[in-house]
A and B are shown apart, each in its own frame.
Chain A
């Protein structure tokens, strides 16, 4: 698999904020790449530089191995984190408008089908609910039959059901072999959709790999979490304090449990689980994604 898009040492500064601080990675053709990071990590800034919307202070973006040029915009589909839609026109009219802007667009019927827009097709843009709006914006993004689709937090603010429906839509698009770059705050979403994940914080790329490899390289065995009730004196190998919790990653659960019992810590609220991306995220960034 060859790389479809590659970025090299992107840097973007706003005043004295380094929003993106030297990020490099590449995305192979046909995969779904997830960019994860807490609020203000630099996800939007990174993705918008890759889209050609923001000019990086320095660094390069290569598409098919060549620097992006003016034809790039015909080949990519973009869904911004916040987008206003033209007012006073309907979903269908908006789709028709965007259709006219691209050389080889999808048909309206195709988009209605992929994004389940049939029930809202004649509705005024201003009268869409959050979920309907996201489906419509995805529809706009896929009009150009993009080789590469950029989705910036496409499911933020949707209810769990709507999010799952949205995953299905993305699944359909992925099945057409479209390469996708998406940012999200939801770890379950990243686990379901993404083949590769990059975790960024404070403008820097911390980790990049497939979800399973990331987990196995950071967590060995099980994760034990227990409220420490202020007992910050507790010392465990592979243990760390995270907020009100003591977290211990262990390969030898039996031994860890015995140690915990000996410490006379109140074990009310103890949980043992297989670590997931959320745990990894917390470990790497030290903050909760949804905070």
Chain B
């Protein structure tokens, strides 16, 4: 066994045998994912949602008065509206200007609306598009897993190294021929593998029941996950570089992770948020992971589309590593 393998092995065994931490790392996200899918699962109200454009006073469509139908007016037909229909956020879209209506052939609500509206819309052209519904959980799962990654990286590397410093394990290492770089790289590698495996396991495990939408490539998802983990671990290393007090470290980490989770759009979208908040969220690694993962899963984005996120994450990783290595002290 060489030095590096031995260090990685020791750290990984420590993690695996620390049952509490181990199960917490695995169960916490699973519970969140399943909890959220139940809480926001079935969409709640049974309203039919119809998008319309070009609606005039003399337009046909008495069905639009029905109380079980919600009408959402749009200026004109656009790709956005069609996308909403594809994702089951609308059940039907009627463009009175061009006398066309659109239905989603994978939606049972669309099917019912065809029957309800059929008679009144004679003469209109019917268009069918298809697409699975986007549930809240499809949207939230990258955020939940990302959040868990953030905790696991910060506490599993940053906090643990501070503990090592406090209880003297670092000092014992300093007395051996191991260089700080090697020691830290070993800690990072162990944590990297652990977080990657738990993240993949949580996703795959919950996917068995919840069948998330993944329109893009799994490989790309894996890539962005790996990159985000590296970035978060490097972030954690900045704390690990010098701090001596476990209390201070965990306080600081909580202080920082809390806004990150709120402002990275883990649980709700930032689209309506003030511009400064949206800008501020861009300095957080978690935001870029979530953005990219959602783009791949929901929009089927490819490497090119998520390149900006990839570049930012890589840049941050390098930056964090440089800062951490400049600050690092054994004691």
Residues of A within 8 A of B (CB): 51-53, 70-71, 73-74, 78, 80, 82-89, 93-94, 96-103, 140
Taking the closest CB of chain B, its distance from the CB of A58, in whole angstroms, is 20
Interface status of B1 (Cβ within 8 A of chain A): yes
Contact call A86/B177, Cβ cutoff below 8 A: no
- Chain B residue contacts of A74, Cβ below 8 A: 177
Contact call B7/A97, Cβ cutoff below 8 A: yes
B172 contacts which of A71, A83, A93 (Cβ < 8 Å)? A83
Taking the closest CB of chain A, its distance from the CB of B96, in whole angstroms, is 69
Contact call B168/A80, Cβ cutoff below 8 A: yes
Contact call A84/B167, Cβ cutoff below 8 A: yes
Contact call B18/A88, Cβ cutoff below 8 A: yes
The 29 listed contacts between A and B (C-beta, < 8 Å) are A51-B175, A53-B171, A70-B177, A71-B177, A80-B168, A80-B171, A80-B172, A83-B168, A83-B172, A84-B164, A84-B167, A85-B169, A87-B14, A87-B18, A88-B18, A89-B10, A89-B14, A94-B10, A97-B6, A97-B7, A97-B9, A97-B10, A99-B1, A100-B2, A100-B3, A100-B5, A101-B6, A101-B176, A103-B177
- Chain A residue contacts of B56, Cβ below 8 A: none
Interface status of B13 (Cβ within 8 A of chain A): yes
A101 contacts which of B3, B13, B167, B168 (Cβ < 8 Å)? B3
**Interchain CA distance A78-B171 in the complex, whole Å:** 11
Taking the closest CB of chain A, its distance from the CB of B21, in whole angstroms, is 10
8 A Cβ contacts from B101-125 to A? none
Count chain A CB atoms within 10 A of each CB in B1, B17, B167, B177 and give the residue with the most.
B177
Residues of B within 8 A of A (CB): 1-3, 5-7, 9-10, 13-14, 17-18, 164, 167-169, 171-172, 174-178
**Interchain CA distance A146-B325 in the complex, whole Å:** 30
Contact call A88/B178, Cβ cutoff below 8 A: no
A89 contacts which of B3, B17, B168, B178 (Cβ < 8 Å)? B17
- Chain B residue contacts of A83, Cβ below 8 A: 168, 171-172
Count chain B CB atoms within 10 A of each CB in A71, A83, A99 and give the residue with the most.
A83
Given contacts A70-B177, A89-B13, A93-B13, 14 further A-B contacts (CB under 8 A): A53-B171, A73-B175, A85-B169, A85-B172, A86-B10, A86-B14, A88-B18, A94-B10, A96-B1, A97-B6, A99-B6, A100-B3, A101-B3, A101-B178
- Chain B residue contacts of A86, Cβ below 8 A: 10, 14, 169
**Interchain CA distance A78-B177 in the complex, whole Å:** 12
- Chain A residue contacts of B3, Cβ below 8 A: 100-101
- Chain B residue contacts of A71, Cβ below 8 A: 177
- Chain A residue contacts of B178, Cβ below 8 A: 101
**Interchain CA distance A61-B1 in the complex, whole Å:** 33
Contact call B176/A98, Cβ cutoff below 8 A: yes
Which residue of chain A lies nearest to B172 when distances are taken between CB atoms in the complex?
Answer: A83
- Chain B residue contacts of A98, Cβ below 8 A: 176
Contact call A100/B6, Cβ cutoff below 8 A: yes
Taking the closest CB of chain A, its distance from the CB of B177, in whole angstroms, is 5
Contact call A84/B176, Cβ cutoff below 8 A: no
Contact call B13/A102, Cβ cutoff below 8 A: no
Taking the closest CB of chain A, its distance from the CB of B11, in whole angstroms, is 8
Those 6 A-B pairs whose CB atoms lie nearest each other, nearest first = A100-B6, A84-B167, A88-B17, A84-B168, A78-B175, A88-B14
- Chain B residue contacts of A140, Cβ below 8 A: 172
**Interchain CA distance A85-B3 in the complex, whole Å:** 17
- Chain B residue contacts of A80, Cβ below 8 A: 168, 171-172, 175
B177 contacts which of A53, A88, A96, A101 (Cβ < 8 Å)? A101
Taking the closest CB of chain B, its distance from the CB of A81, in whole angstroms, is 10
Contact call A73/B10, Cβ cutoff below 8 A: no
Contact call B175/A93, Cβ cutoff below 8 A: no
- Chain A residue contacts of B2, Cβ below 8 A: 100
**Interchain CA distance A53-B176 in the complex, whole Å:** 10
**Interchain CA distance A97-B2 in the complex, whole Å:** 9
Which residue of chain B lies nearest to A94 when distances are taken between CB atoms in the complex?
Answer: B10
Count chain B CB atoms within 10 A of each CB in A53, A71, A97 and give the residue with the most.
A97
Taking the closest CB of chain A, its distance from the CB of B328, in whole angstroms, is 16
B176 contacts which of A88, A93, A96, A102 (Cβ < 8 Å)? A102
**Interchain CA distance A102-B5 in the complex, whole Å:** 13
**Interchain CA distance A52-B330 in the complex, whole Å:** 13
**Interchain CA distance A98-B3 in the complex, whole Å:** 9
Taking the closest CB of chain A, its distance from the CB of B199, in whole angstroms, is 23
Contact call B168/A82, Cβ cutoff below 8 A: yes
Which residue of chain A lies nearest to B14 when distances are taken between CB atoms in the complex?
Answer: A88
Contact call A93/B10, Cβ cutoff below 8 A: yes
- Chain B residue contacts of A88, Cβ below 8 A: 13-14, 17-18
Taking the closest CB of chain A, its distance from the CB of B1, in whole angstroms, is 5
Which residue of chain A lies nearest to B21 when distances are taken between CB atoms in the complex?
Answer: A88
Contact call B17/A73, Cβ cutoff below 8 A: no
Taking the closest CB of chain B, its distance from the CB of A98, in whole angstroms, is 7
**Interchain CA distance A21-B95 in the complex, whole Å:** 91
**Interchain CA distance A80-B168 in the complex, whole Å:** 9
**Interchain CA distance A87-B21 in the complex, whole Å:** 13
- Chain A residue contacts of B17, Cβ below 8 A: 88-89
Taking the closest CB of chain B, its distance from the CB of A78, in whole angstroms, is 4
**Interchain CA distance A89-B18 in the complex, whole Å:** 10
Contact call B169/A73, Cβ cutoff below 8 A: no
Contact call A53/B174, Cβ cutoff below 8 A: yes
**Interchain CA distance A202-B153 in the complex, whole Å:** 45
Which residue of chain B lies nearest to A81 when distances are taken between CB atoms in the complex?
Answer: B168
Which residue of chain B lies nearest to A72 when distances are taken between CB atoms in the complex?
Answer: B177
**Interchain CA distance A88-B178 in the complex, whole Å:** 21
Taking the closest CB of chain B, its distance from the CB of A100, in whole angstroms, is 3
